[in-house]
Amino acid sequence: MKTHLLSAILLFNLSVPSYAAGWKELGHTSSGNTISVMETQFRKGAIITTRIRNDLHEPKLTENGSIIRIESDLQINCSKKTVSPIRTFLFDEEGQPKLSVNLRGGKEFLKKDADSAMGLAIEQLC
């Protein structure tokens, strides 16, 4: 019961875009994007639930306009070096959230390229 309550509190805190959250820089991708992780994390065994931030080196044009930052809630399975995305937020050039995409169809954990934002999170957090 206690674990479920802690999970619910963390997921509630992760359910809205963060404006003043503490971030820890993890590194950079080969394309120059800065990858950071929210300092608030929930760990249960080999599973970490957290949010990563991808500050784009250059704005990316989407059908909803230009974005400069992506934040993704995810779970990382450290024992298998896989990730399960939960939700993604896209931010415009003013730093406002433009779109929220719920990715959690199932609880499938996927392998990620080491040079991707999620791959870097796996490497640095596990």
Whole-number pLDDT of residue 68: 95
Whole-number pLDDT of residue 105: 52
Task: Give the position of tokens 């959230």.
Answer: 97
Under-70 pLDDT residues of the chain: 1-21, 104-107
Whole-number pLDDT of residue 8: 47
21-37-51 Cα angle (round to 5): 75
Kindly list the domain boundaries of the chain, sorted by start residue.
Answer: 2-125
Whole-number pLDDT of residue 90: 92
CATH number, domain 2-125: 2.40.128
pTM for this predicted structure: 0.76
